[in-house]
Amino acid sequence: MNESGGSPDLPAKVLAVTDLAKCYGRTVAVDRISFEVGRGEIVGLLGPNGAGKTSTINMILGVLEPDSGSIRIQGLDLAAERSRALARTNFAAVYAPLPGNLTVYQNLRVFGLIYSVAELEKRIAEALDQFDLVRFRDVRCGALSSGEQTRASLAKAMLNHPQLLLLDEPTASLDPLAARDIRAAIREFATQGGRGVLWTSHNMYEAEAVSDRVLFLSRGKILLEGEPKALLSQHAKANLEELFIAVAREPLTLEGHREGHRP
Amino acid sequence: MMRWRPMSAIALRHFYLLRGSPARVVPLFAWVGIDIVLWGFMSRYLNSVASPGFNFIPALLGAVLLWDFLIRIMQGVTMAFFEDVWSRNFLNIFATPLSISEYLSGLVLSSIATSAIGLAAMLLLATTIFGLSFLAYGMALAGFLVALFLFGIALGVFACAVVLRLGPAAEWFIWPIPALLSPFAGVFYPLSTLPAWMRFLSRFLPPAYVFEGVRRIVSGRAVSPGALAWAAFLAALDLVLACWFFARVYRYTVRTGLIARYSAESLS
């Protein structure tokens, strides 16, 4: 896959979600949300369990069909141009580890072929090196520690130089040092080549440190959106954890406070 | 348009698994080998006690070989699919640019490779130990083999769709499918042996035409172009229907979110 970030011909937003909605029976999982991820931007998707974060990510990944709304990845409509749109994205999630019966190298080769990565062997070597996986190259993923498995998943997620990277709690199983390295890698990934990252985390310190912008979801709606520092100032909270607790406990009182919310 | 590299990735994944696991390789040979040896000696015994002029080796052992070939093709598709089920790999696989047709084609490539190994093992045993030679029956047999191959793929894709819809526990529904079909397919006996209602159902099964056609060939009669045409037509139709069914089930799982939540638990 060719790296194409930073080109003036490309859309300014790597992800544009408009009026996205999903219900499971009578339960509203995602309630007509709209947001964007710009080039070089890391957006944190935050919220309590059941807020609709994973449903949102699954819809962007094309494995969950929205009831209404649209998703455009680098200007491509996911519903109409699924393969082309998904070729520009990739993901890692704690609940979707790489197959444990293949080695790290075999997994990267298989997914590299699926994503039609150019110069695959070279790219695999780079990814192994970047995530300190060279010594685990021929180890089955199932035999790795949870932290090593996470690094292998991240290596897969960045293998095709995606314009949009989706991460669902990428540092959940990492020790503090490894988590710091991964955050640095994600930051470097976003800034080099003007790529966008949408990630979820329950670690508010991490979200505050890494995200350029955060979206607070509750009961399927975006209640708050903005830069972490601006939101803290606006809601008179000392840190994102306090704000998170406020959102989780009293979501209704915060409705309508969304900064920059589009009609 | 289908792309070769993503398709080959699915087959490569299966090759890696086979290469690293004797437990996966041995069954490719073992069961077919046991079948050929068992039915080969049974055929030899029947030749010794039955009236001269009828050779049980091609009639019985040949039928076993062809039926095993069909089963291996079907299982080649389903086993490659089950690797994704067992490793909970659906989210990784279906959140990629891979299209459904490319995924199914990858499963078929895996099946061709594994069933070819099984077929080679069967032919080797049947030829060297029991003197069965399919080559003597000419190219018409190849046409019937293609029809069986297409029908085996269709059964495999249909079985994958059932498991995708109902969950991993539904695998116990799919393994008996060949056994359920075999009485209607007339694998070991002419269709005229069957009662009328079973003969009626047999008309819709490609293997029924295949085994009737092959019996004609091994008994020295002319190839039946009608049987060959019906077998090929029905097998191709079944394959199209199976792929349509899989695509429909896949769309259902994406609409309901089952594909993202697919796990070792049964789904309803």
- ipTM field: 0.88
Query: At residue A250, does pLDDT exceed 70?
Result: no
Q: Strand pairing of A89-93 and A164-168?
A: parallel
Query: Residue A61: which domain range?
Result: 1-88+178-263
pLDDT digits (tens, 9 = 90+) for B136-152: 777 778 899 999 999 99
Same domain, A68 and A192: yes
Average pLDDT, stretch B100-110? 96
Q: Are B162 and B177 in contact (CB under 8 A)?
A: no
- Indicate whether A12 and A140 sit together in one domain: no
Shortest distance between the Cα of B167 and any Cα of chain A, in A, equals 17
C-alpha distances in Å from residue A126, one per residue of A1, A209, B33, B98, B208: 15, 26, 46, 24, 55
CB-based contact, B100 to chain A, within 8 Å: no
Assess whether A142 and A261 both reside in one domain: no
Distances (CA, A) of A249 to A28, B74, B150: 18, 54, 58
Quick check: A101 and B8 CB within 8 A?
no
How many helices (H) and strands (E) in chain B?
13, 0
Residue A72, pLDDT score: 97
Per the domain annotation, does A108 fall within a domain? Answer: yes
User: Which one is predicted more confidently, A173 or B107?
Assistant: B107
Question: Is residue A183 located within the same domain as residue A258?
Answer: yes
Query: What does the DSSP assignment read for B200-239?
Result: HHHTT-HHHHHHHHHHHHHTTPPP-HHHHHHHHHHHHHHH
By the CB < 8 Å criterion, does B226 face chain A? Answer: no
Q: Which of B3, B79, B91 is the best mutation test for A, with the most CBs of A within 10 A?
A: B91
Clarify whether residues A236 and A107 are in a common domain. no
pLDDT of B163: 94
For A113, which of B9, B21, B88 is closest by C-beta distance?
Answer: B9
* pLDDT, tens digit (0-9, with 9 covering 90-100), for B14-50: 999 999 888 888 888 888 999 999 999 999 999 888 8
Contact between chains at B254 and A24 (C-beta distance less than 8 A):
no
Residue A263 confidence class, pLDDT cut points 50, 70, 90: very low
Q: Is A56 within a domain? A: yes
Q: Which residues of A touch B (CB under 8 A)?
A: 22, 24, 54-55, 58, 61-65, 82-84, 86-87, 91, 93, 95-103, 106, 109-116, 140, 156
The reported pLDDT for the residue numbered A5 is 41
Distance in Å, alpha carbon of B4 to nearest chain A alpha carbon: 9
Kindly state the tokens that stand for A94.
Answer: 């704690």
Judgement on whether residues A113 and A61 belong to the same structural domain of the protein: no
Please tell me which residue, A122 or B54, carries the higher pLDDT value. Answer: A122
Residues 238-257 of B with CB under 8 A from A: 251, 254-257
Per residue in B186-219, pLDDT (tens digit) is 999 999 999 999 999 999 999 999 999 999 988 8
Chain A contact for B9, CB < 8 A?
A: yes
The whole-number pLDDT of residue B168 equals 85
> Does residue A207 lie within any of the structural domains?
yes
CA–CA gap between residue A11 and residue A13 (Å, rounded): 5
User: How many domains does chain A contain in total?
Assistant: 2
Please write the tens of the pLDDT for every residue from A153-194.
999 999 999 999 999 988 887 888 888 888 888 888 888 878
Percent of chain B with pLDDT over 90: 65
Residue appearing with tokens 């710091």: A180
| Domain shared by A213 and A236, yes or no | yes
pLDDT at B52 over 80: no
pLDDT at position B92 is 93
| Domain assignment of residue A35, yes or no | yes
Contact B96 A111 (CB under 8 A): yes
CA distance B235 to chain A (A): 29
Provide, rounded to the nearest whole percent, the portion of chain A with pLDDT above 90. 58
**Are the beta carbons of A101 and B17 separated by less than 8 Å?**
yes
**Out of B16, B20, B255, whose CB is closest to A65?**
B255
pLDDT in tens, A186-225: 888 888 878 999 999 888 888 888 899 999 998 899 988 9
Judgement on whether residues A194 and A263 belong to the same structural domain of the protein: yes
Q: Considering the domain boundaries, does residue A139 fall inside one?
A: yes
Beta strand ranges found along A120-242 (DSSP E): 164-168, 196-200, 213-218, 221-226
Integer-rounded Cα radius of gyration of chain A: 18
Q: What is the mean pLDDT of chain B?
A: 90
By the CB < 8 Å criterion, does B22 face chain A? no
Cβ–Cβ below 8 Å for A58 and B6? no
Q: Which residues of chain A are within 8 Å of residue B99 when distances are taken between CB atoms?
A: 82-83
Cβ contacts below 8 Å, chain A against chain B, sum to 90
What are the tens digits of pLDDT across the range A83-136? 999 999 999 998 889 999 999 999 999 999 999 999 999 999 999 999 999 999
Q: How confident is residue A252, by pLDDT bands cut at 50, 70 and 90?
A: low
What average pLDDT does chain A have? 88
Rounded to 10°, the helix B62-86/B100-130 angle is 140
Note the pLDDT of residue A10: 67
DSSP for residue A10: S
Examine the pLDDT at A140 and tell me if it is beyond 90. yes
Instruction: Specify the pLDDT at position A42.
Output: 95
Domain ranges of chain B: 4-261
Residue A103 gets the label, from left (phi > 0), alpha (psi -120 to 50) or beta, of beta
pLDDT digits 0-9 by tens, A41-89? 999 999 888 889 999 999 999 999 999 999 999 999 999 999 999 999 9
CATH number, domain of A238, equals 3.40.50.300
Residue A69 placed within a domain: yes
Specify whether A184 is located in the same domain as A83: yes
**Domain check: are A117 and A233 in the same one?**
no
pTM summary value = 0.89
